[in-house]
Amino acid sequence: MTLCFSAPVSNPIIAALDVPTANEALTLAKAIAPAVGAFKIGKELFVAEGPDIVRRVRDTGAAVFLDLKFHDIPNTVAKAVTSAAQQDVQMLTVHASGGTAMLRAAQEAAGDNGPLVLGVTVLTSMDEQDLTELGIQKTPAEQVRHLAQLAAAAGLRGLVCSPQEIAPLRQVLPAEVQLVTPGIRPAGSASGDQKRVMTPADAITAGADWLVIGRPIYAAENPREAAEAIRESLG
């Protein structure tokens, strides 16, 4: 199945399969696939089930966003990206804080026809106090901008950032760079451990290409209805 990950996208919802077992993930994926654009496989599910979970989700016809946030020496990250591409993932993440050489190695390993490599800037669970603890004397917005420009200069075609940073990044990044946005909470939803959040409609209006949505969908009484309601809210 050929999947297009160039903007604009017809359905920007990436549903996070943040569940501990393959059975739960596949049940959820099959139930909500018609209402979402892709599925995110993160560390919990990948470590519990191994690489085979990627194939099993892909077998449903769904696109896969492998969110393992690679961060290592350039050669190691390049090999990890190559392995991910061989598993037929459509998107994957690397930490932009890994530096230019690592980012370039990741993008070169993916190539023009491989998965969309996304640079992770500042985790949405982090605020200015958290950055200060790490010795970074910048606000989250300043650090996001710095890392985003670093990643774009290294050749990455996509970035992960919180909704509040979308509009400022659109002013300084090439138009073709896709922005993937976690920290999405429908109106009235609990923010949980996310400190920088926004509603789906507001994030798209700000310029996001993709919305990563987890608990508001998978923890809903009816995940399919929750996903459909979010999609309808986008107009």
d(CA 164, CA 74): 30
Comparing C-alpha atoms, which of 96, 117, 123, 119 is closest to residue 183?
123
69 given a catalytic annotation: yes
Comparing C-alpha atoms, which of 101, 97, 103 is closest to residue 147?
97
B/e letters for 91-130, b = 16+ CB within 10 Å, e = fewer, are: bbbbbbbbbeebbbbbbbbbeeebbbbbbbbbbbebebee
The residue from 40, 43, 69, 195 that is catalytic is: 69
Among all residues, which ones are annotated catalytic? 69
